[in-house]
Structure 1
Amino acid sequence: MTIENSIHATPDYLSLLRLDGRGYIVLGAGQGIGEQTVHALAQAGAKVLCVDRDEQLAHAIADKVGGIPCVADATQRSDVQRVFDTARKQFGRVHGVIDIIGVAGIKPLAEFDDEAWDRQFDIVVRHAYLAIQIGGEMMKADGGGSLVFVGSLAGNRAVPNEVVYATSKAALHHLVRCAGVEYAPYNVRINAVSPGFVRTPRLNQRLDESAWQTISDVIPLGRPATPAEIAGPLLFLASDLSSHMAGEIIEVDGGVGVMAKFPKVTFGPSTTPTP
């Protein structure tokens, strides 16, 4: 197709969302955003390797979508290598990875010790580094693919008592940007979604309804996201609809990130003279 023809050609947009016959890996597939992402990929036609540290959760979601369960600790190099080797053996080729893994350590910076600091960076950044290094090279050799990560609003803004978590997410965001540029020439696209407040099963265990209402009050859309509302943008980044995106961080936060915090004041009448 010539450049002129490609400019005017109208693609089949729905087909660009389809992933029929392609092999995908979901890291952290067992619940919440990961579980919904597995459903999204499967509904788009993908074959999915469902990876989780919890064997029961990995098998449960794989059974729901006809996927393949895989138990692994994605912070360990040997486990990540095994995950990609398994996917290639099962699917013939790995077309994409969606990495959901991340847990927030929420407490003042002074209360962290070195072990807790290292653990926070392992659970947010290390598995992403391993997935890009191992999976990115595999996709590079196979002609391309897509790696998508889940960042956080905390990686873009200062959030109370989340200094370490926020710093690790900011590191993840910049890993995505830098690696996205490095791998783009090989048609390996690396991007991320940055959610705000999401009503996941894990957070539901930690927050009561009054806390959720307090959170809802600061979100312009008036409520936190559901896991499915994050899985949708993840599916977009995994598909060919996002074929010209590399190193991007998409904020999906209900408008929180673009809102400036101002005091509530009442302005009196203008004293500016009328011309």
Structure 2
Amino acid sequence: MTQEFEGRTALITGGGTGIGRATALALAAQGCLVTVTGRTEATLRETVDEIEAAGGKARLFVADVTDEESVRAAVEAAVGDTGRLDFGVNSAGDSGGDDLKPLADYPTEKFDRLVDIDLRGLFLSMKYELRQMRDQGFGSIVNVGSGAGLVGVPGVAGYVAAKHGAVGLTKAAALDYAADGVRVNAVAPGLVETPLIATGRSPELMAARIAAHPIGRIAQPDEIADAVVWLCSDRSSYVTGVALPVDGGYTTR
């Protein structure tokens, strides 16, 4: 059976854990050569090892999305000797944790950190992915956003601001590059069972957050990855500029 993404290449930021890892596994399972990038070599190596053990093709590149030269080098590494970058999946991010504060009391340093990683880091990743895709005349970018980029959430002003900005960048870039054969979309997950979400949260807080999702359960990373893969694929060829909720009904409340 022909694999859907045979001969194609992908760069996945934040590819060492969570949604990034699940997406890397899903793309590689369909024949894509996947480059995973992030700050922690050990988790990136785990992703690569898992892909290779399943018969897929993957490589890693240690990079920090807040450093422009690092991002540029990561995109070059993903292109490699293939001369192409078919997919950019931007999954690197920070949630800011659960120390909730109303805006007037929100720590400025936390706001700056979230904007630096979740918004500026996304901008830099898209900047260099889009340069390659524009020049080659094709490509699909999928940004991993959040339901917090579509609705307000109290106590997390920095995260909400950064994720709303991510939706804006997605829409702006979709319009900038539609005529160049490049599509740009986002997914907006609800609560997902990843290390970023599960660490340090009390059972009471987790129960309250799950209850906010009408489906009544937490998502698994591969459920979000399925949506990302569809947005990468030719099956979504007429879709650009959308932020697709994959959130168990969270944003429909």
Q: 1:200 to 1:132 in 2, by over 3 A?
A: same
Q: Deviations over 1:144-171 (max 9, x none)?
A: 1011101111111111211111011101
Identity of aligned residues (%): 33
- Residue 35 of structure 1 corresponds to 21
Match of 2:174 in 1: 180
* Higher Rg of the two aligned structures: 1
Aligned pair partner of 1:104 in 95, 114, 119: 95
User: Which ranges of 4 or more aligned residues in structure 1 deviate by more than 4 Å?
Assistant: none
Unaligned runs of 5+ in 1: 1-13, 260-275
- What is the identity, as a one-letter code, of the residue corresponding to 2:245? E
Contact 1:154 1:162 in 2 (8 A): no
Equivalence for 2:112 = 118
Deviation, 1:214, is: 2.4
Shift of 1:44: 1.5
Provide, for residues 51-108 of structure 1, a one-character-per-residue CA deviation record: whole Å limited to 9, x for no partner. 1100111111112113101100011110011011111224331111101111122431
Match of 2:35 among 42, 49, 59: 49
- Matching residue within 213, 222, 226 for 1:219: 213
C-alpha distance in 2 between matches for 1:135 and 1:34: 16
Q: Any conservation in 1 of the 2:183–2:240 contact (CA below 8 Å)?
A: yes
Contact 1:154–1:169 at 8 Å: present in 2 too? yes
Deviation string, structure 1 residues 18-71 (Cα, Å, up to 9, x no partner): 111101001000111111111111112100001110011111111211310110
On the 8 A contact 2:38/2:92 being kept in 1, the answer is no
Could you give the per-residue CA deviations for residues 230-263 of structure 1, whole angstroms, max 9, x where no partner exists? 111011111111111111110011011112xxxx
CA RMSD of aligned residues (A): 1.7
Corresponding residue of 1:152: 146
TM-score by length of 2: 0.92
Give the alignment of 1:82-93 within 5 angstroms: 82-93=73-84
Q: What are the residue-to-residue correspondences of 1:58-69 with 2, within 5 Å?
A: 58-66=44-52, 67-69=58-60
Asked if 2 retains the 8 angstrom alpha-carbon contact of 1:47 and 1:91, the reply is no
The CA distance in 1 between the partners of 2:213 and 2:240, in whole Å, is 28
Structure 2: gaps of 5 or more residues: 53-57
Q: Displacement, 1:113? A: 4.1
